[in-house]
A and B are shown apart, each in its own frame.
Chain A
């Protein structure tokens, strides 16, 4: 067991650190709290930031070189994320493409697909969204009803997707649609790479509880998709889609632990500045307990993540610690945001004005954190998965 870095890894860390110090946009460093998702007013900044990172060779570290990546290991990826957190770097814009779309295409794509899409995901030339959920299919995704019917060398798609993050700025969608309605539920689904600019695609932004329109309804009316846009084979979409979700969790594991750390640092910083009962809240024994527990839980995710990465680097399958990761993150982050409100007391009610703490940033991150236990699979579904797949308990 060794938690230290090799000289090469140290050198990489040094290179990243130096580069970040020189390149983080000034417009961003003024912002106090870390947010894990790009917000509308930061889309342009996120796009430019991703391009800058990409030109420096810091996006797609683990992707093969021939598809635009750097051919490095998960270790470098982890180091990069840690350094970005320490430097309080802004999030990149194309998070779904980088976290899910690209890795899935690299795993299942034809050579032509692998050459066509991943490089533009990394360079932020093309933004991706994930079209899985539907009005009647969320947790029970295999019940999805969007239809794809063959017509010559095309498929004609009809149906509706919902809660589709970033669809309003996306160029491509990872689309799951039913190609064989007579097959068993999991066997009749196909994964398509859908051009969002195709005729028949209508995107209607939905306002979230934060007030931001970050996700959307997407209506698909007789959208024609060439057969060559199928990823991973006809009726194999369930398998391909699960891979996407696996990458999503892995990406979550990396990126989110460090974002959590950024948020925690900001929280501690805020705690030093606010008073309760006439003294700094950091001197309040109850608050000290809560802050310390958050510190412990945040650090814990790092070590749990390190155990998971070690397994993968050794070529083993993910172990039980991998499942603990996402749930731990969700619970900790939501508790962190609740504490941010508690520390502020009545000021927690203010989202703007000079009276608001940190200009009301925490009010956004607090509201946004409610989604953490829903997006990417709800906590209840995660617990079913742990119970059934990891512990081997019978299905309900």
Chain B
């Protein structure tokens, strides 16, 4: 057992930290918040040049072939920078879905171009019913003469407005177990009947869309993976994306802890630095415990998905349950310990606070994942 990062991984961390400090300072983040795109072509190309868009894809598909423990390091640094843009949606949702479910041809068509930064993608899973399980998939795909017809509404879809292709989860068979009737489809940008609407979000670094499908006709080749066999690969994608998101959240929480401790050392009240008061010091200690525990669970989950151990699903849910609560609490405490300045638009804390909130609900909140844990341990 060696439960720490390797020297290569520490090097990746150092490189990434420097990169984001230079390329993704908060001025950059704030500009992206004001715009619909949330990313610039230059920034996206630079991520591609670093090899980060294909970090976890196999080399044959233009990737670097690294694992989720490596990705964890990168995501922590992205979270530290509150990096905006469609990384999660393109690389870890749409892209991973194609990797998990796609045919050789579909992988060839898309993955290399995702890794090179040429195309963007996303996953349209959730609907107005706001469920993360298979039963939540009610968008229908009817088999037609020589293809499929999709109807329904997807909601909370990350970055669909940027996607060249949207992976849509749709119901192909009614009745039976909900898991057994879900299929995945590749819906290209501009398909007739596809309407993507960008929705204003509280966390402006994360762009969410409504995706309406009205008699969207797709060729038979648009089916991604097996008919009615979409849920298993999707579950794997969600598990992996969840772990990556947890890592991003840990990075953000760690940064909030650092900002807050630094401030507590210099801000003076009643003749002393506020960090000398136990009301402040103990809160900071609680923050540290939350951050370290979130990391422990996240690192384990990253290792578990890399190694495909049977416990991986449980590990991912444990990490997401804990990290959702931890980041929210840490970001809230960060604002509290900063006082008035922490409540301003000018200070960066709100970027983290809002990211904590959006991340909390992405892929299911703590309550959702605790119930999953309960099921997985056979309660």
Contact = CB atoms under 8 A, between A and B. Distances in A.
Contacts of B14: none
A184 interface: no
A312 to B, nearest CB: 11
22 contacts: A1-B302, A2-B303, A4-B307, A75-B1, A268-B377, A289-B367, A292-B374, A300-B318, A300-B322, A307-B295, A321-B296, A324-B293, A383-B285, A384-B282, A386-B289, A387-B281, A391-B284, A391-B288, A393-B275, A396-B276, A396-B277, A396-B278
B379 A390 contact: no
Nearest to B264: A393
B129 interface: no
Nearest to A327: B289
B299 A395 contact: no
A372 interface: no
Nearest to B272: A394
Interface residues of B, number: 47
Interface string B360-379: 00000001001101100101
A282 B297 contact: no
Contact of A393 (B2, B284, B379): B284
Contacts of A313: 2
A89 interface: no
Given A303-B296, A383-B286, A292 B371 contact: yes
B4 interface: yes
Nearest to B377: A295
A8 to B, nearest CB: 12
Contacts of A293: 321, 370
Contacts, number: 164
**DSSP class of B's interface residues: helix, strand, loop or mixed?**
helix
B265 interface: yes
B3 interface: yes
**DSSP class of A's interface residues: helix, strand, loop or mixed?**
helix
A324 B261 contact: no
B128 interface: no
B5 interface: yes
A62 to B, nearest CB: 15
Contacts of B321: 292-293, 296
A177 to B, nearest CB: 30
B69 interface: yes
B293 A282 contact: no
Nearest to A313: B2
A11 interface: no
B292 interface: yes
A297 B373 CA distance: 12
A1 B318 contact: no
B285 A3 contact: no
Contact of A310 (B2, B264, B282, B292): B2
B81 to A, nearest CB: 21
Given A299-B318, A300-B297, A384-B281, A291 B1 contact: no
B10 to A, nearest CB: 12
Contact of B284 (A1, A271, A289, A387): A387
B193 interface: no
A216 interface: no
B6 interface: yes
B301 to A, nearest CB: 9
Given A307-B296, A327-B289, A268 B379 contact: yes
B200 interface: no
A381 B288 CA distance: 15
Interface in B1-38: 1-6, 9
Contacts of B276: 393-396
B288 A323 contact: yes
A291 B292 contact: no
Nearest to A282: B379
A139 interface: no
Looking at A1, A291, A380, which has the most chain B CB atoms within 10 Å of its CB? A1
Nearest to B275: A393
Contact of B377 (A289, A292, A320, A384): A292
B377 A304 contact: no
Interface string A354-388: 00000000000000000000000000101110111
A1 B288 contact: no
A1 B371 contact: no
A159 interface: no
Given A288-B370, A393-B284, A394-B276, A3 B289 contact: no
A288 B369 CA distance: 11
Interface string B308-347: 0000000000100110000000000000000000000000
B296 A296 contact: no
Given A288-B370, A288-B374, A328-B289, A5 B296 contact: no
A174 to B, nearest CB: 28
Interface in A67-91: 75
